Amino acid sequence: MSTSPLPTPTGARNAASAVPDHADADWGWPLLRLGFRPFYLGAAGFALLSVPFWLLMWSGMLSQQPVLPPLLWHAHEILYGFAIAVIVGFLLTAGKAWTGLPTPRGSSLGALTLLWLAARIAALGAPYVVYAVLDLALLPIAAFILLRVLWRAKSRRNLPLGGILMLLALVNLAFHLSALGLIDWPALYALYAALALIVMIECVIGGRVIPLFTANVTPGLKIKPWPQFERVVLGVTAAALLAWVAQLQGAWVVALLALAAVLQAWRLLRWAPWVTLTRPILWILHAAYAWIPIGLALLALAQAGVLAPTLGIHALGVGATGGLIIGMITRTALGHTGRPLKVGGLEAAAYALMMLAALLRVLAPLVAPSALPSALTLAASAWSLAFLLYLFQYGPWLLRTRADGKDG
């Protein structure tokens, strides 16, 4: 059994020492016991390396070229390499928690992880068809596994998440067909659709967990359920993103995106973000979610011809997606490795770095366009350092048995 070189809470150390000697033999290699372990580890490592790699290509300092044009490679791999790995790892883990039924572990989980990794490697130089086949395989398999578990457990509430995975798989198919010249739909628009679907996952999951986590640790705080409002927010947001993906034009699209931004901001304010300022594990979720209304507002301005669309895209991609991911992969990894749901200065630094990366990437083109190369370098450095800190702290924990001696 591997030993973490990092200090752990006393209770965690005592629990770890109580793990029976036969645990590894009974439960298998710790890395492959539950979906979050290999996929969080792989996603964080990929995030650490891929953004600097893209920046070197963008600046002309790297001659190595992937099988896709550099811009498409960057956008696709951040969405389908990084974000999808976290989503799959999270849903395979949550599926077991929601239903009590087993999800892949051991060799089957290892095969899924290797399939994801093989696609990332193939993107760097394999024949395009090989890359496409490998890249297209993971999501349908993960969606089938999740839907099967949810259906068997009659967990109807969560079935739409499996449906979104299937939609992401179809969008990915459209992307590769476009890249191969087999359909007449810009590959970049397929990536807009993928980002929109990922944002909708964030809206659904965020709406469930952020107010719950906040109320649970704040004495006296009660966030009253408002199901009708929630349905309106999600419906308007989905409609606004669909209009944007379809590249529809007109004042009504601007108004729809602006309305979605206002409703999402109102939704966040209902969750009392001001009470989380002394709790980094909570404020990162609120701060990251705030980038959703910001991103929608920036997309509205882009549709009005005021700003470039890349600002809204990066608000949603770096601020919301990157921020929510760094927040959730710390919190869920702590819980599922049997550790207290408390973070220290290292995690708080990672959270701050992710928010800094988003600010630099979104604001720099507005405030100082001539300083864009320097701002991009700083943003990429902040992004990568955030995941380096995550790997330093959580990597050993993901590779070892739970601190409380339980399976998982």
For 148-195, the pLDDT digits (tens) are 999 999 998 899 999 999 999 999 999 999 999 999 999 999 999 999
Asked if 294 and 287 count as a contact pair (C-beta separation under 8 A), the reply is no
Give the phi and the psi of residue 62 in degrees, each rounded to 5. -125, 125
Which amino acid, one-letter code, is at 18? A
For 27-50, the pLDDT digits (tens) are 679 999 999 999 999 999 999 999
For 109-130, the pLDDT digits (tens) are 999 999 999 999 999 999 999 9
Asked if residue 307 has pLDDT above 90, the reply is yes
- Percentage of the chain beyond pLDDT 70 is 93
pLDDT of residue 366: 87
Cα–Cα distance measured from residue 7 to residue 22, given in angstroms and rounded to the nearest whole number: 24
Range of weakest confidence among 11-15, 209-213, 309-313: 11-15
Provide CB contacts within 8 A for 72, sequence distance 6+.
179, 187, 188, 191
Cα–Cα distance measured from residue 56 to residue 60, given in angstroms and rounded to the nearest whole number: 6
Range of weakest confidence among 11-25, 69-83, 275-289: 11-25
pLDDT of residue 23: 47
pLDDT of residue 17: 37
Q: Is 383 left (phi over 0), alpha (psi -120 to 50) or beta?
A: alpha
